[in-house]
Structure 1
Amino acid sequence: MPQLNEPKLIAGNANLPLAEAIARRMTMHRGVHTGLVDARVERFNDAEIFVEVYENVRGEDMFIIQSTSNPANDNLMELLVMSDALRRSSAARITAVIPYFGYARQDRRTKARTPITAKLVANMLVGSGIERILTMDLHAAQIQGFFDIPVDNLYASPVFALDIISRFQGQMDELMVVSPDVGGVARARELAKRINSPLSIVDKRREKPGEVAEMNIIGEVEGKICLIVDDICDTAGTLCKAAEVLMENGAKEVHAYISHGVLSGPAVERITKSVMSSLVITDSIQPTEPVMGAHNIRIVPTAPVFAQAILNIWNGTSVSSLFEQDTLTPIYETLYPGIR
C-alpha cells in the first residue's frame, strides 16, 4: 500500500499530554520530527466549539488524538468538529485515535425504550468524515461492527503483562488473575495466558444498578497474589468490594489492572482507603491531580503502542502484530529493562 505524504497528528483538549507523548515517540521511531499540527480548539461564550487549523493539511494522512472521556459530550463534539475541519481542508485520510471510547457501555438495549448510543456515536463519527478508528480495549468488542469503516482495537493486556513480569519477578507462581464478573472472563483469561497464571472469577449479584448485593469467589485464592483485571473503573465501588472479598477468602495481596481509569465521584478516595495494594491504569484518560497524588495508583503509558500503531497504519503494515508481547517488548524496553 503506497504511503500518503506524511503522518500528521492533531489533538483536541481531552488528553493533550498523551498526544504530545505520542508525537515524541513517533519522532524517536522515525528519526524525523513529528509534532502536533498547529490549531486552536476552543469554545465561544455560549460553549459552541470552534476549530481552526493553521497549517496546510491538503493531501496529508491525518490522525486526530482525542479520548471521548469526561466531559464526554464536549470531547466527542470536539472530535467531530475537528474531523469536519480537516475534511473541508482536503486531508487525504482522517483517522480518529480514540484511546478511550466513550458511550461504549451503551452497546445494547437493556430495557424497553432505551437507546444504543454506541451505534449512534459510530454513525456520527463516520458522518463527520472519519475513515478509520484506532482505539484501545473497547468495552464490547462487537462495537467494531457498528462501523462500516476499519476499526483497530488495541489491547492493554500485553502491556500489563510486561508490567506484571517486571513487578512480580520471583513471585510469578503466586499470581492469580481474577475477573471481577462473569462478563469479563475472556479479558482476564487473555492476561492469564500471557503470564501463565490460573484464573478465578468473582460472581456478583446485583439487586439494582450500581449496588452489589452479594459476591462469591469461584476458584481458590488463599495465599495468592490476586490481580483483578477489567477494562473500566468508574466509581470503584465494585472493585473495592471485590478486593475485600478476596482478602476475606485468604488472598495474600490484591492488585488491580484496569485499562481505563474513569475514576469519577468518590473513586480515588475509595481506592486509597481500600485493601488493594495497587491499582494500575493506563493514561488513555488524562489523570486528574487526585489520581496523580494517590499513593496506590500507578499509571502505565500507552504512547509507545499508539505511536507504533499510527506508524503501522501510515505504512500500511500490520496493526495486529502489536497484540504480541514479543513485538511490544522492544517498544517498552526503556520502561521495563531486562524483560525478554
Structure 2
Amino acid sequence: MILNLDKNFTPYGTKNSIDYNFFTFLGGEPHIKIISEFENVTEVTITHRIQSFNDIGTLLLATNALKNMGIKKLHVVLPYFPAARQDRLMVSGEPLSVKVYADIINAQNYESVTIFDPHSEVTPALLNDCKVVDNHKFIKQVTQQLSDDLILISPDGGALKKIYKVAAHLQNYEVVECSKSRNVKTGQLTGFKVYTDNLQGKDCLIVDDICDGGGTFLGLAKELKAKNAGNLYLAVSHGIFSKGFEELEKYFTKIFTTDSFKTTENKNCIQIELGKLL
C-alpha cells in the first residue's frame, strides 16, 4: 500500500492509497491519524515532497504510526532530498546539513530510500539502502520536444559528470562546458564563462538539478547569447523557483522541470510528472 503525505503528489497513483487525517494542535505540534485499516499488510511505501523541516516531522510521525499498526517494512520516496546542496563545510560555524537530514532518515530503518537526481554523490553515500533515479528519462522527454540540432549546456563543474552521462544515454547531442565563480561567504555569483567561441545560432538546453533563485542561469544566459546562441531552454529536475519566473522568461523560451519539489503553474514552464519517470 501507499501513503502519500502530500495529497497533491501521487507518483504511484492513488490505488491502494492509505487514508489519513492531519492537523496541528494549538500548541503547534503536528499530528497524523491513519484512518485506513489493514489486514495482512506488512509493507508500505511512503511518498513525500520535502519543503521544510516540518515536512520531515510529518514523515517521522507517519512512520511511527505505521510501525505502531504492525507494518514491518517501510519504503520512502523523497524525490527532492533536503539540504543536498549543503554537502560540504565551506565556512566555519556552519552545519553539514545534508548529514543531519540523512541521519534522521537512517534512524527510521527504512527498507529503501528513493531519491531523484541528487545534487551530488554525497547524499546517496550518506543514506542507507538508497535508490537513485537519474535524470535520463526526464531529459529525454525534454529533448523530444526541442530541435534535433540542440546543444546541451553544463552550467558549472558540478554538473559536468552528470551531463556527460546524459549525453551518452541520448547519443545525439554535443556538450558545451561553462563555469562560474561563487563567493562562499556571500553567495554572490560572478565570472560566468562559456568554453566555445561561437554557438552558431544553435538552440541550447541548460541541464541542471536545481533552480532556486535562478541566478546561475540568468548569468549564464547572457554569456550564451554573447556567444551567438539560438533559443535558450532550461531543464532542472527540482524546480524551487523562489524568485518566480519573470526574469527567467526574459532569456528562456521554455523551462522544463518535474513535480519533485512542488506543483508549478506557469505558461512558459512545462512540468513533467515524476510518476512518468520512476
Partner of 2:4: 11
Matched, 1:66 2:51: no
Distance 2:27 2:42 in 1: 33
Q: Check 1:124–1:206 CA distance in 2 against 1; reply closer, same or farther (3 A cut).
A: closer
Report how far residue 222 of structure 1 moved.
Answer: 2.8
- The RMSD of aligned alpha carbons is 1.8
When the two structures are superposed, what TM-score results if normalisation uses the length of structure 1?
Answer: 0.76
Partner of 1:221: 199
Report how far residue 277 of structure 1 moved.
Answer: 0.6
Distance 1:214 1:255 in 2: 21
Partner of 1:334: none
Report how far residue 115 of structure 1 moved.
Answer: 1.5
2:225 to 247, 250, 261: 247
1:120 to 58, 81, 100: 100
Aligned 8 A contact 2:135 2:166 in 1: no
Q: 3-state SS of the aligned residue for 2:13?
A: helix
Partner of 2:182: 206
Report how far residue 35 of structure 1 moved.
Answer: 3.4
Partner of 1:322: none
For 1:162, the aligned partner's letter is Q
Matched, 1:162 2:141: yes
Count of matched residue positions in the alignment of Structure 1 and Structure 2: 274
When the two structures are superposed, what TM-score results if normalisation uses the length of structure 2?
Answer: 0.92
Matched, 1:55 2:55: no
Q: Check 1:129–1:42 CA distance in 2 against 1; reply closer, same or farther (3 A cut).
A: farther
Matches within 5 A, 1:110-149: 110-147=90-127, 149=128
Aligned 8 A contact 1:109 1:116 in 2: yes
2:163 to 188, 193, 214: 188
Aligned 8 A contact 2:21 2:33 in 1: yes
Partner of 1:151: 130
Report how far residue 129 of structure 1 moved.
Answer: 4.1
Structure having the larger proportion of residues in helix? 1
Q: 3-state SS of the aligned residue for 1:280?
A: strand
Distance 1:203 1:48 in 2: 45
Report how far residue 77 of structure 1 moved.
Answer: 0.9
Matches within 5 A, 1:15-26: 16-19=7-10, 21-24=11-14
Aligned 8 A contact 1:187 1:229 in 2: no
Aligned 8 A contact 2:47 2:77 in 1: yes
Aligned 8 A contact 2:193 2:220 in 1: no
Output one character per residue of 1:31-59: Cα deviation in whole Å (capped at 9) or x when no partner. Answer: xxx23201112211232111111123464
Aligned 8 A contact 1:179 1:229 in 2: yes
For 1:184, the aligned partner's letter is A
For 2:274, the aligned partner's letter is T
For 2:25, the aligned partner's letter is F
Q: 3-state SS of the aligned residue for 1:107?
A: coil
Gaps of 5+ in 2: none
Partner of 1:177: 152
Aligned 8 A contact 2:137 2:277 in 1: no
For 1:161, the aligned partner's letter is K
Q: 3-state SS of the aligned residue for 1:23?
A: coil
Matched, 1:78 2:58: yes
Output one character per residue of 1:10-67: Cα deviation in whole Å (capped at 9) or x when no partner. Answer: 1223xx2221x5225xxxxxxxxx2320111221123211111112346421111112
For 2:175, the aligned partner's letter is L
Matched, 1:280 2:237: no
Q: Check 1:241–1:78 CA distance in 2 against 1; reply closer, same or farther (3 A cut).
A: same
Output one character per residue of 1:254-303: Cα deviation in whole Å (capped at 9) or x when no partner. Answer: 10110000111x2322223x21111100011222xxx41x3311101111
Q: 3-state SS of the aligned residue for 1:267?
A: coil
Aligned 8 A contact 2:142 2:235 in 1: no
Output one character per residue of 1:143-195: Cα deviation in whole Å (capped at 9) or x when no partner. Answer: 22212x31101012222213312x13xx31x2110011111101221222233
Gaps of 5+ in 1: 1-7, 25-33, 307-340
For 2:50, the aligned partner's letter is T
Q: Percent identity between the aligned chains? A: 21
Matched, 1:295 2:243: no
